[in-house]
Amino acid sequence: MRALITGASAGLGAEFARQLSKMGYDLILVARREDRLKELSAELGTRTEIITMDLSLEENCYKLFESLENTKIDLLINNAGFGLFGEFTDTDLDKELNMIDLNIKSLHILTKLFLKKFKEADCGRILNVASSAAFLSGPLMATYYATKAYVLRLTDAISEELRRDKSKVYIGALCPGPVDTEFSAVAGVNFALAGIKADYCVRYALKKMFKGKKIIIPGVVVRTGVFFQRFLPYSILRRISFNIQRKKG
């Protein structure tokens, strides 16, 4: 068994690598920081290949797929991503376009290329890392929330196509609330809610993924919040969201 994990040099990606390695998976780990990937690889008990690559560059996504064309991948975890805090008119446009390239475009390309291959073989799993941000609009983190809504909607739609095709291929979206990783430092936020631990988040995600759950929300507080928000109108939700976001600045 072999898993390909993007954004494996830190946080959730590194934790996916640790737990999947313990389950016997060989790993292909992708991120930009080679030293971090090497350190992680040295602590893992199964065969590991590291690929140092900036996935926000479209051509690298194609290169990655092509370089693995003759390698059997059983599980793809599209995890690489980042956020950015600030009012929409103040945030840096180039950073946001880079975020869209990584959070949306690279995930879209890799999902399509690997899914085609998986469908032909009628096996394989894709876990796309979205966020609980996918369920709301996110004033003060508008672009990040919108990218994660894209990930959730895309993944959910494909899962229905697969179900109707009676395909054995799995695709699902992981939608955690705050998790203790490097995410908040990169995004420039302080979480209003205490984050869950990355090892809990990943253990829960893998358990649910292997059971075939399509939308995975770790943590009872966030799960309850997502459940109840369907009863509130958007006019209220976006105000609540603003107030939660404001505390992160």
Binding site for ligand NAP (CB under 6 A): 7-13, 31-33, 36, 54-56, 79-83, 102, 129, 131, 176, 178-179, 181-183, 186, 195
Residue 191 corresponds to which amino acid?
Answer: F
Q: Whole-number minimum distance, CB 171 to ligand NAP, in Å?
A: 16
Neighbours of 231 (CB within 10 A): 7
Of all residues in this chain, which one has the CB nearest to ligand NAP in the complex?
A: 11
Q: Whole-number minimum distance, CB 138 to ligand NAP, in Å?
A: 12
Token pair 């934790």 in the structure block, residue = 15
Nearer to ligand NAP, 38 or 112 (CB): 38
234 is catalytic: no
Nearer to ligand NAP, 209 or 235 (CB): 209
Helix (H) or strand (E) holding 30: strand 26-31
CA max distance for the chain: 51
Q: Whole-number minimum distance, CB 186 to ligand NAP, in Å?
A: 5
- How far apart CA 92 and CA 182 sit, in angstroms, is 20
- How far apart CA 148 and CA 172 sit, in angstroms, is 13
Nearer to ligand NAP, 56 or 111 (CB): 56
Q: Whole-number minimum distance, CB 223 to ligand NAP, in Å?
A: 13
Q: Among residues 144, 145, 150, 170, which one is catalytic? A: 144
Nearer to ligand NAP, 55 or 73 (CB): 55
- How far apart CA 131 and CA 164 sit, in angstroms, is 26
Residue 2 corresponds to which amino acid?
Answer: R
Q: Any residues with CB less than 8 A from the CB of 16 and at least 6 apart, and which?
A: 3, 5, 8, 77, 79, 202, 205, 206
Among all residues, which ones are annotated catalytic?
144
